[in-house]
Amino acid sequence: METKRENIIIIGGGPTGLSAAVYNARAFLEPLVIAGSPPGGQLTLTSDVENYPGFESILGPELVEKYRKHAEKFGARFVNENVASVDFSDQNNLKVKLNNGVEYSARSILIATGASAQWLGLESETRLRGRGVSACATCDGFFFKDKVVAVVGGGDTAMEEALTLTKFASKVYLIHRKDSFRASQIMQKRVLAHEKIVVLWDTEVIEVLGEDKVSGLKLKFNSDKSKDKVKGDELEVQGFFLAIGHKPSTDFLQGHVDLDKKGYVMTYARLAEDFLRGNVELSNEKREYLKGGLDKHYSYSTSVLGVFAA
């Protein structure tokens, strides 16, 4: 199959990728945006967006569509497919292959794939996303004013989500499958002292209840530590928030560009900092690249010339 040549390829169809598409399109670079399938990133999982300037309230998918039309107006083109593999061995001919077998090449590639929330993997959880199931208290907390909600997780993210939700909800259940948190002590102290937060220790969520919207959770107690806080094994809530971490969408980049231990792309700023501190070992070629860029402040550059990340 013939490789299609592009000026610049933007991988990612969320707000970052779409913003980059607008800027590149206005510079007459005719960017190709590999937007993913389905396109739009995490924003498409958000119901009402009320914290974006210029819109008092707008649906997440609607905002993505407006972004996209804006970029298309100036000449950006979109492909709703996922990346299967990349080949960055030739820096003048950076290649991207899609799941449908189509291959593109360019001299510049911007990685804007972001990260996705980790989920429990329940069918009911997937079915009710955007209908009471969320992974962003800041985005969706307002819609649960004076309602009962639950958060699952045990790290700092879970603590922050629970505390954020206390500003809106009448009660917040914090569900953790272990008998102690891994969060920082100061965050634990705030959560455990809050009158609106009820912690359910040694407890797992095995099903999200509800047909068209969340009505409750089915629980599994691994000990008797919190059984007395719930009647039976079902907890009545109107909202369920996941806070068990995020996973960067960079699996296809493994071995092609430097990633950190969590899988996030190492940009010039982070590479230079770690290199100067002696935290990473780099080839002579990459060392020269970093040294050559110290005065240029290409903060979005990666370990591969022509490949950028935002």
The rounded distance, in Å, linking the Cα atoms of 43 and 21 is 17
Question: Which one of 48, 87, 90, 136 is the catalytic residue?
Answer: 136
Count helices and strands in the chain by DSSP H and E runs = 8, 21
Whether 224 is a known active-site residue: answer no
Question: SS3 of 86, please?
Answer: strand
The answer to whether 228 is a known catalytic residue is: no
With residues binned 3-state (H G I as helix, E B as strand, rest as coil), the percentages for the chain, rounded to 5, are: 30, 25, 45
Mapping DSSP to helix (H, G, I), strand (E, B) and coil, where does residue 107 land? coil
Instruction: Give the whole-angstrom CA distance, residue 220 versus residue 265.
Output: 37
Do strands 83-87 and 94-98 pair parallel, antiparallel, or not at all (unpaired)?
antiparallel
Strand 234-236, strand 307-309: pairing? unpaired
Distance CA 108, CA 93 (A): 9
DSSP, collapsed to helix, strand or coil, labels residue 122 as: coil
In the residue annotation, 140 being an active-site residue is answered as yes
Which one of 48, 87, 90, 139 is the catalytic residue?
139
Q: Is 303 left (phi over 0), alpha (psi -120 to 50) or beta?
A: alpha
The answer to whether 83 and 110 are in contact (CB under 8 A) is: no
Catalytic residue positions, numbered: 136, 139-140
